[in-house]
A and B are shown apart, each in its own frame.
Chain A
């Protein structure tokens, strides 16, 4: 093993030796610089590997051969080694990224870069306070020098401001060091630990040390100077500044605070949280990509500072959590800065240029997911463990603030990602070249590798090692293939997985699995219509299906949550593919993440920090005091997914604007995940009361209100897919109501809805999508009379709406029959009224759907339309056949589930004999119903044929029109505002109360961001004053508490 001191030595040595060489041979010089950085990285990596595998022990290096405090000592443990690798690698890649500037400015700049990397590395290794000071000074000078590399004029100002502030920091630090020496008699960090920190001077010393280091972390609001650097410096350097310097500074804080004692931790927590939340709020309003990244960096550093503040409760997991967050931040932020060097424009929208390069989009997605802490990246694992620890220690407010911050952060990051995918891409907006791309992809690879490493941690569930997740990743690699081949593979993968696992599931899980996995395969048949490569679709879809598959497999809280997040992420990318879906996908991911955080908190509350915690263990807390809170949190999360009224506003847009084959996936399948969660939760927790209110009753009310309002809103839609989306809200309301009844038949009803809603909603979305493919519009009133041109689509819509409205003989009726039997012995009477109202209202929008599209007057441009593409029809016809079969033989799916639910509730209200079903109250004989109806229908039809077989077939204008004739089909088709009389009576229900509420919330946060942003005036003196005021304020608050 080479000594790690060589990292410093090589850095410094090369920097000096550069000065001795001929300045003209720039390429050689640059090569030497790179080599030096490469060697430094290699050493760091070697140490990391050795330490991680246990091949080496933590190295203590004493310079000058004497023990501290008489000499400087350096330490390289695993965290140090990992950070060193990060710093040196970032340095190497940054050098590559800045190659043009470095070559232009020659050896001096390269030397400064090397010094910076060396100094940052030294900062990590050293255990001596004064040495620390020296390195910080070195960093300050080197940074100021490198800032000037940029050709941006603002960089000069930024560099100057930076120098001013660093001097303040240095002074504070120096005074702190002097005080410390005075107090402890040593400058070695390890000695401070031993010495008592009892008297006032010591805590003041500690305060000065810490505050200096904290200001180095650019906390909000004392950070105006740093943001100017991010905005104006070369992005290659900004990456280094954010990833390497920031991480090292954090490490130093950690180093210093560890001996100082736990009483300092709340200070760190407070500053960290303030910085995290506030920076993210301000970032919401940023237009400039690099400044936004700057705010995000500040926020992330604040987050990690807050995590350092939690080191007392994190215990063994501390390194895992903090490390995960630091590495996620560093890799992602560095990657984004380097990418920004390729994007020509500085506006966020300019990133749309990335869209032309699929791998770049992948890189962007990777970095965004890493920053937000989504699976499978280290931040995700870290976030989970952090939440567990915080809840176990009773620090819910801290967790809440962190999650709030993450949510805001995801808001602007995903908005930005949405811009990149959806906005107009400028010509030549991307200055891509092999080197920059290489840097970016190296970073991406690093990110994924870290994800794998973190998943492989002790006692962890490695997401990337599961078969479904691997499949999803494989589909990223398969991207160059033709879409049809990929589609075939995807279907095979889904069916294969189902065949593999189906045997192990209980009947209820089996139904969910059948809907989610082979059900997904059936919908994928429709994707055969798409030609070309269809980049991005299959990885996203397979990620979603992987999430669903893992969800069903999950046995522990973590597995469940991880699967949930994977599913959310995959579906977000899927939804974002829609043509107009940018804002809707954003609101989808935000609501989903909000819901997911509720689930996270709920799980953490339930597990009490015990890892891993089996899902079945949830029932152990059912009797505990916190059980109702767990119930509320989990339910909130699941209700967000099922889009219960109040949390529904993401759904209509997301489902309506998605692509033809995506809408049925997200509507027919994805919504069921929420129901699945509710089932799991209720099975374990049972009824819970909060302040005397039975929470299942609340759920029932929410379900009933969703069922009713969803239906009413659907009635007023002009857009066919939006109508179906609102209808989903209503249908999920029914299912929710059934689940919340907490009796056997209620659950059976919900299961029936799981099957039925999947079938008919997928069918209707596909049919409407097929029509959209031909007419290029979703506005129903622009269509009309398509029945003769698209008979198959018509049949599937017809069967779909009969089934959905519950009219016998199709399967929807079964749902209604079970519903009536279920409510017979329920105590809930009032919400029933809403459910009863919802039924006929549903009839309204369904009729409108079929009438305005297929009946009425055919429009001019549609006269020559063809039937929808055959591959869109195939799944529809499968669904039609299934619906009819299921109507006659409901037992084929329900009987087993019925038995299973019976085993949960310990009763068996339904008796199945032959094809007939009897309950305590009534009976249902589907075969007889079908037979009678078919017989009567055929008989009446025969009479009509006998009389009217010779009827003259007429055309669309051959109608009696009060003795006039129709003018144009557009003016004859009664379609727009179809239920105008209904609107007159019930239109008040359309008032967008919920939308206004959420609009107010986002508006408020944005307003806060706008207000806070004015704080940054751009004036160096003001910034210096900020820093001083910040120090004074913190002093007053902190010393008041500590001393």
Chain B
């Protein structure tokens, strides 16, 4: 694949769809959680209002250059992740800029936003920000491990690092999905998925009750709006990767919408019924459960 100018509007369109989908879906999930608790919950369009409100703030402060750039890094990380991963299999236009790199690019680009955000939060000078970053990074070292192992396992299984080819290999029926051809890898990867979606029991990074609210403590106005945008995009981007690698990808937007929603619901459901882990507890959890599954996955491929 090579670059053509038409890909830019196509990519923007994909981005637009995913942004809206993300904003609506996260609101729907919140509403679902509220309904489970017997509350009416937020309106489904609440995310848009919050976004506008934050963009419309009149006074803003800045703690310095890195603070200013933090949200930019964050959102670039989210958008870039989407742009580097093909969204719809077989679609002529929703391939984005996947020609720039393969699975490895997607895996490592995840850290781009994290790093920028951590730096921005760090410059604010707020101890809670630093504590949040310390917790988050500590936790992610182990949480990402099963994913790395699972990805290696399926890359060996399919003998490719190209996401498109991995999706292609899963076409032609439900039982061609990695979920059924390599269940161990999928289980391992799902550990990482649940562990990195910032939901209970793995949300000690934000921990609103003790270190309100971790890294973004000092962020507000358009900074926060950018981060909220990323909050809508990034989980979808991540979900797309998981969908493509383990659940047969998506051949149409409808399939995409359903799969992304169901995948997103997994950590949400787990989150509402589990209390929070401390960092060392979650590290031990991943060592005890996630790691062995991942090891089995790479040994049995």
Interface residues of A (CB under 8 A from B): 785, 787-788, 798, 801-802, 805-808, 813, 816-817, 820-821, 823-824, 829-830, 832-833, 836-837, 839-841, 843-844, 847, 850-851, 855-857, 919, 921-925, 928-929, 932-933, 936-937, 940-941, 943-944, 947-948, 950-954, 956-962, 972-975, 978-982, 984-986
CB pair B118 A840 closer than 8 Å? no
CA distance in complex: A31, B168 (Å): 100
**Could you jot down 12 A-B contacts, CB within 8 Å?**
A788-B64, A798-B119, A840-B145, A929-B100, A943-B226, A944-B71, A947-B222, A951-B61, A951-B221, A960-B217, A972-B125, A979-B137
CA distance in complex: A479, B212 (Å): 60
Beta-carbon nearest neighbor of A851 in chain B: B122
With beta carbons under 8 angstroms apart, the residue of B72, B103, B149, B156 that contacts A833 is: B149
CB pair B161 A922 closer than 8 Å? yes
With beta carbons under 8 angstroms apart, the residue of A840, A855, A979 that contacts B123 is: A855
Q: Which of B31-39, B256-264, B277-285 lies on the face that meets chain A?
A: B277-285
Q: Does B124 contact A (CB under 8 A)?
A: yes
- Given known pairs A844-B138, A856-B122, the reply for A813 and B102 (CB within 8 Å) is no
B7-26 CB contacts (< 8 Å) to partner A: none
List, in ascending order, chain B residues with CB within 8 A of A832's CB.
Answer: 149, 152, 298
- Given known pairs A823-B152, A948-B221, A974-B127, the reply for A805 and B138 (CB within 8 Å) is no
CB pair B134 A979 closer than 8 Å? yes
- Given known pairs A823-B152, A932-B83, the reply for A985 and B279 (CB within 8 Å) is yes
CB pair B152 A787 closer than 8 Å? no
CB pair A921 B155 closer than 8 Å? yes
CB pair A960 B138 closer than 8 Å? no
Q: Mark B187-231, 1 if CB is under 8 A from A, else 0.
A: 000000000000000000000000010000110011101100000
Beta-carbon nearest neighbor of A841 in chain B: B141
Q: Does B63 contact A (CB under 8 A)?
A: yes
Apart from A785-B125, A807-B109, what 14 extra A-B contacts exist at CB < 8 Å?
A833-B149, A841-B141, A847-B133, A851-B118, A855-B122, A855-B123, A928-B97, A928-B101, A929-B105, A936-B79, A940-B76, A959-B125, A979-B138, A982-B280
Q: Does B162 contact A (CB under 8 A)?
A: yes
Beta-carbon nearest neighbor of A856 in chain B: B125
CB pair B104 A820 closer than 8 Å? yes
List, in ascending order, chain B residues with CB within 8 A of A973's CB.
Answer: 125, 127, 130
CB pair A947 B221 closer than 8 Å? yes
Q: Does B274 contact A (CB under 8 A)?
A: no
List, in ascending order, chain A residues with CB within 8 A of B284's CB.
Answer: 985
List, in ascending order, chain B residues with CB within 8 A of A820's CB.
Answer: 103-104, 152, 155, 161
Q: Mark B158-172, 1 if CB is under 8 A from A, else 0.
A: 011110000000000
Most chain-B CB neighbours within 10 Å: which of A801, A802, A807, A972? A807
With beta carbons under 8 angstroms apart, the residue of A841, A928, A986 that contacts B99 is: A928
When A and B form their complex, which 3 residue pairs have the shortest distance between CB atoms, in order from nearest?
A922-B161, A855-B122, A981-B279
List, in ascending order, chain B residues with CB within 8 A of A943's CB.
Answer: 222, 226
List, in ascending order, chain B residues with CB within 8 A of A837's CB.
Answer: 141-142, 145
CB pair A839 B102 closer than 8 Å? no
With beta carbons under 8 angstroms apart, the residue of A807, A948, A953, A956 that contacts B112 is: A807
CA distance in complex: A909, B218 (Å): 49
CB pair A952 B141 closer than 8 Å? no
CB pair A932 B84 closer than 8 Å? yes
List, in ascending order, chain B residues with CB within 8 A of A851's CB.
Answer: 118-119, 122, 130, 133
Beta-carbon nearest neighbor of A921 in chain B: B161
List, in ascending order, chain B residues with CB within 8 A of A857's CB.
Answer: 125
List, in ascending order, chain B residues with CB within 8 A of A855's CB.
Answer: 66, 119, 122-123, 125
Q: Does B3 contact A (CB under 8 A)?
A: yes
CA distance in complex: A604, B201 (Å): 60
List, in ascending order, chain B residues with CB within 8 A of A962's CB.
Answer: 212
CB pair B102 A923 closer than 8 Å? yes
CB pair B134 A978 closer than 8 Å? yes
CB pair B130 A978 closer than 8 Å? yes
List, in ascending order, chain B residues with CB within 8 A of A957's CB.
Answer: 125
CA distance in complex: A847, B135 (Å): 12
CA distance in complex: A937, B113 (Å): 11
Q: Does B126 contact A (CB under 8 A)?
A: yes
- Given known pairs A836-B148, A840-B145, A923-B102, the reply for A981 and B126 (CB within 8 Å) is no
Q: Does B179 contact A (CB under 8 A)?
A: no
List, in ascending order, chain A residues with CB within 8 A of B99's CB.
Answer: 923, 925, 928
Give the Cβ gap from B279 to chain A, nearest Cβ, in Å: 3
Secondary structure of the B side of the interface? Answer: helix
CA distance in complex: A952, B221 (Å): 12
List, in ascending order, chain B residues with CB within 8 A of A817's CB.
Answer: 101, 104-105
CA distance in complex: A851, B126 (Å): 12
CB pair A824 B159 closer than 8 Å? yes
- Given known pairs A855-B125, A936-B79, A944-B68, the reply for A960 and B218 (CB within 8 Å) is yes
Beta-carbon nearest neighbor of A981 in chain B: B279
CB pair B159 A972 closer than 8 Å? no
B61-115 CB contacts (< 8 Å) to partner A: 61-66, 68-69, 71-73, 75-76, 79-80, 83-84, 97, 99-105, 108-109, 111-112, 115
- Given known pairs A824-B155, A936-B83, the reply for A808 and B161 (CB within 8 Å) is no
Q: Does B29 contact A (CB under 8 A)?
A: no
List, in ascending order, chain A residues with CB within 8 A of B84's CB.
Answer: 929, 932
CA distance in complex: A921, B164 (Å): 12
With beta carbons under 8 angstroms apart, the residue of A807, A937, A974, A979 that contacts B108 is: A807
CB pair A941 B125 closer than 8 Å? no
Beta-carbon nearest neighbor of B79 in chain A: A936
Give the Cβ gap from A855 to chain B, nearest Cβ, in Å: 3
CB pair B137 A843 closer than 8 Å? yes
CA distance in complex: A150, B72 (Å): 80
CB pair A924 B102 closer than 8 Å? yes
List, in ascending order, chain B residues with CB within 8 A of A953's CB.
Answer: 61-62, 64
CA distance in complex: A530, B119 (Å): 33
CA distance in complex: A929, B226 (Å): 22
- Given known pairs A824-B155, A982-B283, the reply for A952 and B62 (CB within 8 Å) is yes
Q: Does B28 contact A (CB under 8 A)?
A: no
Give the Cβ gap from A780 to chain B, nearest Cβ, in Å: 12
Give the Cβ gap from B56 to chain A, nearest Cβ, in Å: 9
CA distance in complex: A446, B62 (Å): 70
With beta carbons under 8 angstroms apart, the residue of A808, A840, A937, A948 that contacts B140 is: A840
List, in ascending order, chain B residues with CB within 8 A of A984's CB.
Answer: 279-280
CB pair A807 B111 closer than 8 Å? yes
CB pair A941 B100 closer than 8 Å? no
Q: Does B44 contact A (CB under 8 A)?
A: no
With beta carbons under 8 angstroms apart, the residue of A798, A821, A944, A982 that contacts B279 is: A982
Give the Cβ gap from B58 to chain A, nearest Cβ, in Å: 9
CA distance in complex: A856, B134 (Å): 13
CA distance in complex: A209, B285 (Å): 76
List, in ascending order, chain A residues with CB within 8 A of B124's CB.
Answer: 959
List, in ascending order, chain A residues with CB within 8 A of B126's CB.
Answer: 959-961
CB pair A836 B149 closer than 8 Å? yes
CA distance in complex: A924, B294 (Å): 26
CA distance in complex: A528, B121 (Å): 36
List, in ascending order, chain A residues with CB within 8 A of B145's CB.
Answer: 833, 836-837, 840
List, in ascending order, chain B residues with CB within 8 A of A805's CB.
Answer: 111, 115
CB pair A808 B218 closer than 8 Å? no
List, in ascending order, chain A residues with CB within 8 A of B133's CB.
Answer: 847, 851
Give the Cβ gap from B228 to chain A, nearest Cβ, in Å: 13
CA distance in complex: A932, B112 (Å): 13
Beta-carbon nearest neighbor of A821 in chain B: B161
CB pair B130 A925 closer than 8 Å? no
List, in ascending order, chain A residues with CB within 8 A of B225's CB.
Answer: 947
Most chain-A CB neighbours within 10 Å: which of B144, B148, B160, B162? B148
Beta-carbon nearest neighbor of A952 in chain B: B61
